[in-house]
Protein backbone atom coordinates (compact mmCIF):
# COMPACT_ATOMS: atom_id res chain seq x y z
CA UNK A 1 0.00 0.00 0.00
CA UNK A 2 2.74 2.44 0.98
CA UNK A 3 5.36 1.08 -1.40
CA UNK A 4 5.65 4.25 -3.51
CA UNK A 5 5.79 6.48 -0.42
CA UNK A 6 8.54 4.34 1.13
CA UNK A 7 10.61 4.25 -2.05
CA UNK A 8 10.38 8.04 -2.43
CA UNK A 9 11.35 8.44 1.21
CA UNK A 10 14.36 6.15 0.79
CA UNK A 11 15.41 7.95 -2.39
CA UNK A 12 15.24 11.36 -0.71
CA UNK A 13 17.09 10.13 2.38
CA UNK A 14 19.77 8.57 0.16
CA UNK A 15 20.17 11.83 -1.75
CA UNK A 16 20.57 13.77 1.50
CA UNK A 17 23.09 11.28 2.83
CA UNK A 18 25.09 11.49 -0.40
CA UNK A 19 25.03 15.29 -0.17
CA UNK A 20 26.34 15.09 3.39
CA UNK A 21 29.13 12.75 2.33
CA UNK A 22 30.12 14.99 -0.58
CA UNK A 23 30.17 18.04 1.69
CA UNK A 24 32.50 16.34 4.15
CA UNK A 25 34.72 15.04 1.35
CA UNK A 26 34.95 18.38 -0.44
CA UNK A 27 35.11 20.56 2.66
CA UNK A 28 37.34 18.45 4.90
CA UNK A 29 39.40 15.86 3.11
CA UNK A 30 40.28 17.82 -0.02
CA UNK A 31 41.57 20.96 1.76
CA UNK A 32 43.34 18.90 4.42
CA UNK A 33 45.11 16.79 1.81
CA UNK A 34 46.05 19.88 -0.20
CA UNK A 35 47.60 21.52 2.85
CA UNK A 36 49.32 18.36 4.10
CA UNK A 37 50.91 17.57 0.74
CA UNK A 38 51.63 21.16 -0.22
CA UNK A 39 49.36 21.09 -3.27
CA UNK A 40 47.58 24.34 -2.47
CA UNK A 41 49.02 27.62 -3.67
CA UNK A 42 46.64 29.52 -1.39
CA UNK A 43 48.09 30.16 2.03
CA UNK A 44 45.38 29.57 4.61
CA UNK A 45 45.86 30.09 8.31
CA UNK A 46 45.35 27.10 10.56
CA UNK A 47 42.53 28.86 12.41
CA UNK A 48 40.62 29.65 9.22
CA UNK A 49 41.12 26.13 7.91
CA UNK A 50 39.95 24.68 11.21
CA UNK A 51 36.75 26.75 11.08
CA UNK A 52 36.04 25.56 7.54
CA UNK A 53 36.71 21.94 8.45
CA UNK A 54 34.56 22.09 11.58
CA UNK A 55 31.75 23.85 9.71
CA UNK A 56 31.70 21.26 6.93
CA UNK A 57 31.73 18.35 9.36
CA UNK A 58 28.96 19.93 11.43
CA UNK A 59 26.80 20.63 8.40
CA UNK A 60 27.47 17.16 6.99
CA UNK A 61 26.41 15.51 10.25
CA UNK A 62 23.31 17.73 10.44
CA UNK A 63 22.24 16.76 6.91
CA UNK A 64 22.85 13.11 7.72
CA UNK A 65 20.65 13.39 10.82
CA UNK A 66 17.89 14.93 8.71
CA UNK A 67 18.15 11.93 6.39
CA UNK A 68 17.84 9.58 9.37
CA UNK A 69 14.77 11.45 10.59
CA UNK A 70 13.28 11.20 7.11
CA UNK A 71 13.79 7.43 7.06
CA UNK A 72 11.76 7.29 10.26
CA UNK A 73 8.72 8.47 8.26
CA UNK A 74 8.49 5.21 6.33
CA UNK A 75 5.19 3.37 6.67
CA UNK A 76 4.38 -0.31 7.04
* pLDDT band at 48; cut points 50, 70, 90: confident
Average pLDDT over residues 39-43: 76
- What is the Rg, in whole angstroms, of the alpha carbon atoms belonging to the chain? 17
Please report the pLDDT score of residue 60 as a whole number: 96
* pLDDT band at 31; cut points 50, 70, 90: confident
Please report the pLDDT score of residue 58 as a whole number: 96
Average pLDDT over residues 20-48: 85
pTM: 0.82
Residue 34 CB coordination number (10 Å): 15
Report which of residues 24 and 49 the model is more confident about: 24
Amino acid sequence: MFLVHNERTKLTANWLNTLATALVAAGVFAPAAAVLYGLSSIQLGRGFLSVILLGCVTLGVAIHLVALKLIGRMRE
